[in-house]
Amino acid sequence: MAITHLSFYSAFTLSSLGLAFHRTHLVSALLCLESMMLSMYMALSIWPAENQAASSTLMPILMLTFSACEASTGLATLVASTRTHGSDHLHTLNMLQC
């Protein structure tokens, strides 16, 4: 595998592991999502440079647009849950507990 491909592949895997094992705060899970978006942006930017395909360079810009929408929605959810529960700790989201 090319060493540059291995880099954003590892960063994506580490961030998804961090998303799966987030511990106390909801905002650390959102930060791991942002890190996944960053590694995907790097992947989508480097691929047209390697294949010399100019028209594919608009794909990372488009991905960044939708990533901004998703980040704003996640932060709005964070603000709503913090105002309801007093903090963004994950043990306060326990309505599905039996």
Partner 1 sequence: MTYFIIFLTSLFILGGLAVASNPSPYYGVVGLVVASIVGCGWLVSLGLSFLSLVLFMVYLGGMLVVFVYSVSLAADPYPEAWGDWGVVGYGVGFALVLTVGMLVGGVLGDWVWGVVTVDGGGVFSVRLDFSGVAMFYSWGVGMFLVGGWGLLLALFVVLELVRGLSRGAIRAV
Residue numbers at the binding site for partner 1 (CB under 8 A):
1-4, 6-8, 10-15, 17-19, 21, 23, 25-28, 30-32, 34-35, 38-39, 41-42, 45-46, 48-50, 52-58, 60-62, 64-69, 71-73, 75-84, 87-88
Cα separation values, 95 from 19, 85, 91, 92, Å? 21, 12, 10, 8
Contact (Cβ atoms closer than 8 angstroms) between residue 46 and residue 68: no
Q: Find the shortest distance in angstroms from Cβ 77 to partner 1.
A: 6
- Give me 71's structure tokens: 């980040």
Q: Find the shortest distance in angstroms from Cβ 94 to partner 1.
A: 15
